[in-house]
Structure 1
Amino acid sequence: MKPEDIHAEHVADYLARNPQFFHVFPNLLDRLSIPHPSNGKAVSLLERQVWQLREQRDKLQDEVDSLVAIAGDNGILLQKIQQLSRLLMVAETEQQAIDVLYTQMDEVFKVEYMTLVSWEVPNQSLKGLSQLGVRQDWVKTLKESLQPGKPVCGLIEQKWKSGLFHGASDLHSVCCLPLGKNRVWGVLALGSTTDRFHPELGTYFLKVMAELITARLNRLFG
């Protein structure tokens, strides 16, 4: 290869394949000009390595702090779900269970909007549980889009928003928890004025909540 044919990529590739190169030619290290990433001034190889190690340390620390924060948030959320589960189990009637659900969503989970609806007729009339007729196009579309065990989060169509939350104008994001084991007989819809229920939100705990509510109210629908 002629000198004019040698490019920086060739040198970098050669050094990557020969990590012992500077063991043989250590004097070249003194002639290297390495710019500092933050100010561009020439520094020694050792200084550059120290800076890089500090950057990696800080990045790892940020990742650890993030994981610790997530673990803490998940622990708090788990406690709230355990409390919800206990209260649903000790509720003597389905009406008490629905009352518990509304109270917990409001006071503990701090959900701004909540709607509990069904497509099937319950075996008793309960306050807080509304029935939606599938004759309406938006209701039919909503029902067909839900599957057991698969909560859906994000923005929703305007008709869905108006129908589920009676036209709440400040609603920004929604989470729909399908209710039912082998079929979806209803949905618990949660609304927020922020992006709290964004599409990338993890749904594990939401799925657990849906299963708890389904187990408690499933008897209403045979």
Structure 2
Amino acid sequence: MEINTALETDEQLSAEQVVNYLLDNPDFFAQHPNLVEKIAIPHIQKGSVSLVELQSEQLRKKVRSLNHKLSQLITIAKKNEEIYRIYADLNIRILKCTSMDDLTFVLEEVIQENLQLASVSLMPFKGAHALPEIQRRLFIEKRFKRDKHFFGRLSDHERKLLFADQDANSVALLLLGDQGELGILAIGSKDPSHFNPDMDTLLISQLQQFLSILLPKILSY
């Protein structure tokens, strides 16, 4: 249907008909370029603008939005690369430790200073600083029913048991050993939402594996 014919036969051509026609004929303005500059569109700041000006402005907004999203993705990628490198260095340093004191120092230095998390505590199930048997069973039954890790919040009693007076508003708990027989690594954040059940576990699971390799040597299992 020609648009001129429609105008001749229906003086009350509806906006919906015009919209449908333009959608069915996307090359209409390419075939009638003289109309483009004549069409005035209301604009909040500028009063009225041509169709070309409006399209140009919309395109600029899309470009700015895409540039902003690209910048965000680049920032996230750089941050993720930095975190990956920190964990990779930590895993290598862990394997070089020869005592619990060495291991504790490395964990605190990297996790608190480099990763800027609030607290870290390594609670072995054997040795002078072992977690009491009853507490060990309670943690395993409550926090490690399905997995060898837990992300979220603890009760006040649990938090004080693992972290004493350190900040730990959200935590990552890692059960160490093939059968969970070696101990618990507890990492705390001031941010209540930092550690959550939906977070990625790749890097922290690798840390879990490296500690599970080292601890039997240090604790003489």
TM-score by length of 2: 0.73
Q: Does the residue aligned with 1:177 lie in a helix, a strand or coil? A: strand
Report the residue type matching 2:98 in the other structure: E
Report the residue type matching 1:205 in the other structure: L
CA distance in 1 between partners of 2:45 and 2:156 (Å): 52
Report the residue type matching 1:58 in the other structure: R
Q: Does the residue aligned with 2:145 lie in a helix, a strand or coil? A: helix
Tell me if structure 1 keeps the 8 A contact 2:168–2:189: yes
Report the residue type matching 1:72 in the other structure: K
CA distance in 2 between partners of 1:162 and 1:91 (Å): 27
Match of 2:3 in 1: none
Structure 2: gaps of 5 or more residues: 1-5
Q: 1:75 to 1:57 in 2, by over 3 A?
A: same
Q: CA deviation at 1:82?
A: 2.3
Tell me if structure 1 keeps the 8 A contact 2:123–2:185: yes
Tell me if structure 1 keeps the 8 A contact 2:168–2:188: yes
Report the residue type matching 2:141 in the other structure: K
Q: Percent identity of the aligned residues?
A: 23
2:211 is aligned, of 199, 210, 213, to: 213
Q: 1:26 to 1:173 in 2, by over 3 A?
A: same
Q: 1:135 to 1:187 in 2, by over 3 A?
A: closer
Equivalences for residues 1-222 of structure 1 within 5 A: 6-8=14-16, 10-36=17-43, 39=45, 41-93=47-99, 96-117=102-123, 121-122=125-126, 125-127=127-129, 130-131=131-132, 133=134, 140-144=141-145, 147-148=147-148, 151-166=149-164, 171-181=168-178, 183-185=179-181, 186-195=183-192, 197-199=194-196, 201-217=199-215
Q: CA deviation at 1:26?
A: 3.5
Tell me if structure 2 keeps the 8 A contact 1:116–1:130: no
CA distance in 2 between partners of 1:13 and 1:29 (Å): 18
Q: Does the residue aligned with 2:134 lie in a helix, a strand or coil? A: coil
CA distance in 1 between partners of 2:97 and 2:142 (Å): 33
CA distance in 2 between partners of 1:100 and 1:210 (Å): 15
TM-score by length of 1: 0.73
Tell me if structure 2 keeps the 8 A contact 1:81–1:209: yes
How many equivalent pairs are there? 210
CA distance in 2 between partners of 1:174 and 1:47 (Å): 53
Report the residue type matching 1:173 in the other structure: S
CA RMSD of aligned residues (A): 3.4
Structure 1: gaps of 5 or more residues: none
